[in-house]
Homo-oligomer: A and B are copies of this chain.
Amino acid sequence: MKKKLLYIFVLLIFTMAGNLHAEDTLPSWNDGATKQSIITFVEEVTDKDSKSYVKSEERIAVFDNDGTLWAEKPIYFQLEFVKDRIKELAPSHPEWKTEQPFKAVLENDNKALAESGYEGLMKLLMATHSGMTQAEFQDIAEQWLDTAKHPRFNRPYNELVYQPMLELLAYLRANGFKTYIVSGGGIEFMRPWTEEVYGIPPEQVVGSSLKTEFEMRDGKPVLVRKGEIQFLDDKEVKPVLINSHIGRRPIAAFGNSDGDLQMLQWTAAGNGPSLMVLVHHTDAKREWAYDKDSHIGRLDKALTQANTDGWTVIDMKEDWKTVFPFQSQ
């Protein structure tokens, strides 16, 4: 009995403390240079005898969300959420019938919507989602996620996450990494579900935000979302918010578009070892294929620098056995 207990404790401690073997924890990744570059990096930074060893508290890994952890086609999922809200609120806003980007939403014109870009997205966000408290907004977002379905896959949006990236997040955490989201998406839009879906708690989610004010309503303090952008967490702003939220330079960064370039550059410029990874969407059959000509998730300059500097580029079609959890291998 005692021997058995001892065995369990020893097993437990080895499992918790040791490196989890990547072979067991990245089953949806095909063997090859991409998978190997990740495993080699993780093994080196966790090996106390390696000159690349990095203390656990400094093993910071940052992930873009749209197109890196979950899909972003035909349009950013947050924009689908906004569209649904716009349609709900449209009866009280007759002017939206002729005004972009509202018109595009009401007419389901995704091309015009995409062309309005992040600026357009933020306009829609502010027109529809400011004025309420942070708690009220999170309720609205959660309710939407519980009911809305993706147009192509007819599944809840948070099932459109990449199985290989879920495995990668777990693998990194099992090796002492702290995993963060650093996304152009809204911080309060993501926080209600990232812990359940990705295992990433609210305090490790960084994103775009509206100005927020502390107010007293009926004698109770509330945080009210104002109609003004605080941070648009894209491009040059990503390293700035990484610094303000985390205060440490990441040693690993994962993105998929030019919006992630500066985050990867910032990570690459550290003194120690670093891993820069791009998800290249090459799989029109299981997901989508797009890069430099896409309005959403444009990948051009970052791909060029990845090739020049030897960053890891995931070829979705070649490197991933499974894309979404619901697709069998």
Residues on B with beta carbons closer than 8 Å to the beta carbon of A221: 239, 262, 265-266, 269
Task: Determine whether the beta carbon of A244 is less than 8 Å from that of B203.
Answer: no
Assuming A2-B3, A2-B6, A220-B269, is B213 touching A243 (CB within 8 A)? no
Copy number in this complex?
2
Task: Determine whether the beta carbon of A244 is less than 8 Å from that of B209.
Answer: yes
Q: Is A284 part of the contact surface with B, judged by Cβ < 8 Å? A: no
Rounded to whole Å, the gap between the CB of A75 and the closest CB of chain B is 25
**A contacts with B, residue count (CB < 8 A):** 39
Rounded to whole Å, the gap between the CB of A22 and the closest CB of chain B is 26
Q: Is A286 part of the contact surface with B, judged by Cβ < 8 Å? A: no
Task: Determine whether the beta carbon of B6 is less than 8 Å from that of A246.
Answer: no
Residue from the list B202, B239, B265 in contact with A246, Cβ < 8 A = B202
Task: Name A192-215 residues within 8 Å CB distance of B.
Answer: 201-203, 205, 209, 212-214
Residues on B with beta carbons closer than 8 Å to the beta carbon of A247: 187-188, 191, 201-203, 205
| Bitwise interface map of A from 1 to 18 toward B, beta carbon under 8 Å scored 1, else 0 | 011011001100100000
- Bound form: Cα–Cα A143–B248 in Å: 19
Q: Is A240 part of the contact surface with B, judged by Cβ < 8 Å? A: yes
Most chain B C-beta atoms within 10 Å of own C-beta, residue among A134, A202, A243, A245: A243
Task: Name A127-162 residues within 8 Å CB distance of B.
Answer: 134
**A237 to B, closest residue via Cβ:** B214
Task: Determine whether the beta carbon of B243 is less than 8 Å from that of A212.
Answer: yes
| Bitwise interface map of A from 213 to 255 toward B, beta carbon under 8 Å scored 1, else 0 | 1100000110100000010000011011001111110000000
- Bound form: Cα–Cα A246–B191 in Å: 10
**A194 to B, closest residue via Cβ:** B247
- Bound form: Cα–Cα A266–B133 in Å: 13
- Bound form: Cα–Cα A178–B178 in Å: 15
Task: Determine whether the beta carbon of B209 is less than 8 Å from that of A266.
Answer: no
Task: Determine whether the beta carbon of B246 is less than 8 Å from that of A203.
Answer: yes
Rounded to whole Å, the gap between the CB of A140 and the closest CB of chain B is 16
**A60 to B, closest residue via Cβ:** B203
Most chain B C-beta atoms within 10 Å of own C-beta, residue among A6, A230, A240: A240
Rounded to whole Å, the gap between the CB of A251 and the closest CB of chain B is 14
Q: Is A107 part of the contact surface with B, judged by Cβ < 8 Å? A: no
**A212 to B, closest residue via Cβ:** B240
- Bound form: Cα–Cα A230–B243 in Å: 13
Residues on B with beta carbons closer than 8 Å to the beta carbon of A10: 9
Enumerate chain A interface residues (CB-CB to B < 8 A): 2-3, 5-6, 9-10, 13, 57, 134, 178, 187-188, 191, 201-203, 205, 209, 212-214, 220-221, 223, 230, 236-237, 239-240, 243-248, 262, 265-266, 269
For this complex, 29 residue pairs linking A to B, each with C-beta atoms less than 8 Å apart, are A2-B2, A2-B3, A5-B6, A6-B6, A9-B9, A9-B10, A57-B201, A134-B243, A178-B203, A187-B244, A188-B247, A202-B246, A202-B247, A202-B248, A203-B245, A203-B246, A203-B247, A212-B243, A213-B240, A214-B236, A214-B237, A214-B239, A214-B266, A220-B269, A221-B239, A221-B265, A221-B269, A223-B243, A230-B244
8 more contacts with CB within 8 A, not counting A178-B203, A188-B247, A220-B269, are: A2-B3, A9-B13, A57-B201, A202-B247, A202-B248, A203-B247, A203-B248, A221-B266
